[in-house]
């Protein structure tokens, strides 16, 4: 072969390499849902009357179990099947462990010091470790058991006394159970975290709870400047103004608690113990001590006070709202299904009897009650759409390429209503967890049922929440009869937002079903 031909082949090879060698193969991209508008993308669809998790579930029926929607400049991967959820939160768990930047996280989360909204990294891991040690470990939960038990007992006595004061010829009184659950849960969480009672009706407390409610609402709102950043200066909808005002209101209350515990730390050698609570651990004090000792501002860029307040805000808001809604949905479902309620009461009578109250040691025997709670969390997960994740690098999901910076929403509600997994998915059937789905639990290992999420960002308060829900639900259906004042079924309409609230109150007629001494009433 002559030199000219060799030279021609050489040059041609270089040209082919330059032309084709640097051309990346076309990526297998995730299908995008139709209906996108210029600039805002699919945001207009989420502004309708249908709650987002149901809307996205309907879109999954059309576009498949995995698809992309656009929210302004952001791309969101919506996952609607347990197989895809498992792939995202196991194989790609580290990639999707991040949280997207958002106005609420900046303005109301102490500039991302809130560990629930913080980016994935050393700071998040450090705070998570402290929370496990000081609040959610088995040892700590055992130490906090007396708070749970005493608050439930006190609230049961209050309900009995309300019945005594207000009963008429019908022998039943009206109680807003949604409100009753709210007062009880807030007191349990406040005592665990701050060592303080939280009486409703006091102006400061009520204002604080309203501020917390707005914070949670803001977490579930689609803020225009989050999806189209250059709109921030306009503050469309007034979200930034509202967030700043609410952040100040919450911060004032947290500052008060923080200063109280700082004084106690300076005056005692056991800073994480509240002298007035029979040696019960107080989380805020323990957290403050650990952060002062372990967390250096120069490492993470947050001061000690902001870390403590942001962490307490994350836990208080998550622990109260989600537990309240789960109890509300559970009782509403039982009222709409009286045969299930009667069976649960028979189980309680079999294992507890009618001569004493329900205790935490009874819980392992109440398998039907546990099935009711699982079925409630399946039908009405407290967070029907997962808190958004964000990919930190390119990855593959379901054979598709997902670029770095893509948000991930796991449609937990859609997974929980998949007819291929759950026969009659919209029916309340606790028995499924005693038979065909007996082995499935809610602890993040079975992706068919993930009310607490899964992976690195799984809800850290899962164990405490389950203990509290079981204890309260068992006590109220053991201790009281409930009737719907209307001949119509309980309204089960859901509210839009990050947390799946029942849209209307749960007002029920209530009467005791046990002897007065069981409630602690001396006659």
Instruction: Summarize the annotated binding site for heme as residue ranges.
Output: 459
3-state secondary structure of 100: coil
Is residue 113 within 8 A of residue 306, CB to CB? The reply is yes
Given a contact cutoff of 8 angstroms between Cβ atoms, the answer to whether 75 and 68 are in contact is yes
Rounded to whole angstroms, how far apart are CA atoms 141 and 139? 6
Positions at the binding site: 459
- Helix/strand/coil for 424: coil
Helix axis angle for 367-379 and 462-479, nearest 10°, is 120
Task: Please state, in angstroms and rounded to a whole number, the distance separating the CA atoms of residues 349 and 170.
Answer: 25
**Separation CA 419–CA 159 (nearest Å):** 40
Q: Is the dihedral of CA 334, 335, 337, 339 positive or negative?
A: positive
The whole-angstrom separation of Cα 35 and Cα 46 is: 12
Whole-angstrom Cα distance, residue 125 to residue 286? 17
Q: Which residue in 457, 446, 455 sits closest to 90, CA to CA?
A: 455
Which single residue is written with the structure tokens 């049961």? 156
Report the run of H or E that residue 104 belongs to, with start and end. helix 103-107
CB 337 within 8 A of CB 453: no
3-state secondary structure of 235: coil
């Amino acid at each position: 072969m002559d030199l000219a031909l060799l030279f021609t082949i050489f040059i041609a090879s270089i040209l082919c390499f330059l032309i084709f060698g640097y051309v990346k193969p076309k990526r297998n991209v995730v299908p995008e849902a139709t209906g996108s508008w210029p600039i805002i993308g699919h945001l207009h669809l989420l502004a309708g009357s249908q709650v987002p998790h149901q809307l996205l579930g309907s879109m999954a029926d059309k576009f498949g179990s995995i698809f992309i929607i656009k929210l302004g400049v952001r791309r969101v991967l919506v996952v609607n099947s347990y197989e895809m959820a498992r792939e995202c939160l196991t194989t790609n768990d580290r990639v999707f462990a991040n949280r997207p930047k958002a106005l609420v996280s900046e303005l109301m989360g102490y500039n991302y010091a809130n560990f629930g909204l913080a980016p994935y990294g050393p700071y998040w891991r450090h705070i998570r470790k402290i929370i496990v040690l000081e609040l959610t470990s088995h040892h700590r939960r055992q130490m906090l058991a007396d708070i749970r038990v005493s608050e439930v007992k006190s609230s049961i006595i209050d309900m009995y006394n309300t019945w005594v004061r207000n009963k008429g010829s019908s022998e039943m009184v009206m109680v807003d159970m949604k409100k009753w659950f709210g007062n009880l849960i807030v007191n349990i969480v406040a005592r665990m975290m701050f060592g303080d009672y939280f009486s409703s009706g006091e102006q400061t407390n009520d204002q604080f709870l309203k501020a917390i409610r707005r914070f949670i609402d803001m977490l579930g709102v689609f803020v225009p400047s989050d999806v189209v950043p250059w709109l921030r200066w306009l503050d469309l909808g007034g979200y930034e103004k509202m967030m700043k005002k609410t952040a100040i209101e919450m911060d004032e209350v947290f500052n008060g608690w923080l200063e109280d515990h700082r004084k106690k730390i300076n005056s005692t050698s056991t800073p994480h113990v509240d002298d007035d609570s029979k040696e019960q651990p107080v989380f805020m004090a323990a957290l403050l001590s650990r952060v002062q000792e372990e967390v250096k501002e120069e490492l993470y860029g947050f001061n000690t006070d902001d870390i403590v307040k942001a962490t307490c805000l994350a836990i208080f808001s998550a622990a109260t709202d989600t537990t309240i809604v789960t109890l509300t949905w559970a009782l509403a479902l039982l009222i709409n299904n009286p045969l299930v309620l009667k069976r649960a009461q028979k189980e309680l009578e079999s294992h507890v009897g009618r001569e004493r109250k329900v205790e935490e040691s009874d819980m392992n025997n109440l398998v039907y009650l546990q099935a009711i709670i699982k079925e409630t969390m399946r039908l009405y997960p407290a967070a029907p759409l997962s808190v958004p994740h964000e990919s930190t690098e390119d990855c593959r999901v379901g054979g598709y390429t997902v670029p770095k910076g893509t948000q991930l929403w796991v449609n937990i509600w859609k997974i929980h209503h998949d007819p291929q997994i759950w026969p009659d998915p919209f029916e309340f059937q606790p028995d499924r967890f005693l038979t065909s789905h007996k082995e499935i639990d809610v602890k993040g290992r079975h992706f068919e049922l993930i009310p607490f999420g899964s992976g690195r960002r799984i809800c850290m308060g899962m164990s405490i929440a389950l203990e509290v829900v079981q204890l309260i639900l068992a006590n109220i259906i053991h201790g009281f009869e409930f009737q719907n004042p209307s001949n119509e079924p309980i309204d089960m309409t859901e509210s839009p937002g990050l947390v799946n609230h029942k849209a209307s109150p749960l007002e029920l007629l209530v009467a005791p079903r046990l002897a007065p001494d069981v409630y602690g009433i001396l006659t």
